[in-house]
Structure 1
């Protein structure tokens, strides 16, 4: 047993001495980032709001309106067809009417009043 311990240590040293025999120089600092200053001074990124609730409304004229209420409380997306293109409406602050491009939506949850381009205000229920 006495003879194996020195042989094992010699073998371990021989194996470790073979490590890191790289002929390429190691780059420590690397090239300077040309956008480092811009990135350091950039405004924080704000994620877009997620959908908090999606509702389907039946209006007085028997039309359907699909409204997605966003988590920020200041944005909704309105569609007149289930898979149609959505129109983004925003409010100045939470609790105010959502408006954009001739659209206006007031209320939330069970009942809304919606004004669409070229139409008068309609009362709609979920």
Structure 2
């Protein structure tokens, strides 16, 4: 991705999102903008002492964000899941742990709240 586009992306997505997600695609249509994000393969803090193996993603979640230049903005978010080889259970990032004790923006807090509703299967 071109560096100038990456710099603009930080103006569009909630602050802090790029710490945990990467842009994998975007589409601009007549009345909407679609931004596709995938969670990075970085081990969650609460599982640092466990052996985890990436097992892909939960189903995509679509969140509507603030309009941009008169177009609706949709964030297509894919959350990562891991197999905990110590417990043989599927685990995923706990967004309450991420938010606890940090100073986050209201936009990022709203983003975390929205994606936390979708635990996946």
Q: Where on the TM-score scale, by shorter chain, does this alignment land: which range? A: under 0.3
Larger RCO (CA under 8 A, 6+ residues apart): 2
Q: How high is the TM-score relative to the length of structure 1? A: 0.25
Identify the structure with the greater helix proportion. 2
Q: How high is the TM-score relative to the length of structure 2? A: 0.26
Instruction: State the structure with more CA Rg.
Output: 1
